Amino acid sequence: MLCTLQVPVIDLRRFFKDEAPLVRPDWLLPQVDTEFLRTFGALRQRPLGGLSGWVGEGIVCRASRAVTFPEGLVSTQFGRQAWRVWGVNKTFFHDGTAVAKLEISYKISRNSPKAASVNNVVSAMLERPVRIPGHADRRELKLGQIGKAIASKFLDASSSKEARARSRPRDLVIAGRPCIFIQHTSRKTGNIPPHAREFILPVEYVETLWGLRQGKAAGIRVFYWRVDFQGQRVPVFYCQHNDAGKVGARNLRIYLSRMWTEIECLAGCLRAISKGTLVVDPRGREAQELQNYINNAIKRIKRLGNNSSKIVGHDIYDIGYAVFETFNEEDLTRLETALNVLEFRRNVIRAVKDMGTGHTPSTVIFTQGVYMAEKNYNFGAGSQLNEIQPGANATISGPDNRTQTQIVNNTLSGLSVELEQLVLDAIQSGKLSRDGIEHQSTKEIVLEAQKSEPSATKILGALGTIEGALSHVSGIGEKINAIADLIKSVL
């Protein structure tokens, strides 16, 4: 079981005049094994590498000096249960704009065949005593409350000597709500809270949209809930998977942890604008950078939601709307006024509103085994959907697996009959011979397509046989491609 606690850090210095951080380390073009972050550690390559594309995170700061455990961490007693603890890892990541995060992770295993209590694991992690070396506050803290101290330490570590000496606001760098991610290779769920929300990718949705089969989709389940800790609600993601889903679970952990960081950093930035602590000249360079950051942050949250949805379904999109869950009506009103005063572009204001001040998000539930016509349902206070967004609604939509299969079979059968008719027309016009292999192969395609469970291998094989001989006949090539595309994307 891999346990990770993440502390988002919002770095607003690029939006203030004369408050730029040190140019080293260069987070946009980091130099591995050369650059380092003072009082944290050196920049290193991630052992298993990052993810391809913009999300990256292949190079991180090995933050061995960021946090220490005065009681030690590797022990046989963890919380109130007997555990084996090993593989402690601390990393700090910055994207070069306003997004940063500290991650502390370790592996644990219980010395018992019984299922572990996930709630006990979460509580023990949040309550673990730690110290922040090199920080002015030398008190012993709990791991779940280190956000403010880490933000202050990072501000000092990445500022020049002159900047540290002068008086300046401490909210240039602030911490967001922590998040816990647990990755567990097991067939048993570890006493999941009854109010937890489960995200799982429906099999029929995988087959029709992504062209995958059930074996590739099965094996990963994600549960989401929040625990109260010292006045804040800490989100918990519990990912249970089998051995085949290990790579997908790791990718999901990176996607979700980054998405939560983006959410908290965007929320922190918008809160600073709402409170008036972040004010920029509407026509200055800082205003343009601020607008670009907000616009790109919203795009990144949606993109991360899309990447995560390919693993556990589109319901995970609802997490992205947590940007405004700590805002009240007064905060939202002040924010809208401030954005207009700062003369933000209309598309940026519209994008911000869509993240929470506009219509509530719709959750699509794909039914299995029971046909349900499309209909909207509203969920009241206390429902699982309201754990994500107040007033959320769900769209119960069909068709179900049985109906989808019938639709696909009817489409395939219709295309094969149209192909046969084109072949018969070519025979009557003398372009083809009735005794040729092309006519026989076409009849085999029609017969196979009319079965309740057609064989993709047989149909593709027959298409390959006739493709070269019939491609010169008008309309046949397009029909062959249509059948092949349908089979490859569904069957």
Q: How confident is the model over 408-466, as pLDDT tens digits?
A: 677 777 778 888 888 888 777 777 777 777 778 888 888 888 787 788 778 888 877 77
Whether residue 6 has pLDDT greater than 90: yes
Q: How confident is the model at residue 80 (pLDDT cuts 50, 70, 90)?
A: low
Looking at residues 160-175, what average pLDDT do you find? 83
Looking at residues 95-119, what average pLDDT do you find? 81
Whole-number percent of the chain with pLDDT over 90: 23
Rounded to whole angstroms, how far apart are CA atoms 249 and 252?
A: 5
Which has more pLDDT, 462 or 233? 233
Whole-number percent of the chain with pLDDT over 70: 76
Q: What is the mean pLDDT of the chain?
A: 77
Q: How many CB atoms lie within 10 A of CB 381?
A: 7
**Most confident of the following: 42-56, 260-274, 308-322, 449-463:** 260-274
Q: Is 198 exposed, middle or buried (0-12, 13-18, 19+ CB in 10 A)?
A: middle
- Asked if 136 and 31 count as a contact pair (C-beta separation under 8 A), the reply is no
pLDDT tens for each residue of 450-470: 787 788 778 888 877 776 666
Helix or strand or coil: residue 477?
helix
Whether residue 145 has pLDDT greater than 50: yes
The helix, strand and coil proportions of the chain, stated in percent and rounded to the nearest 5, come to 45, 20, 35
Whether residue 314 has pLDDT greater than 60: yes
Rounded to whole angstroms, how far apart are CA atoms 96 and 21?
A: 10
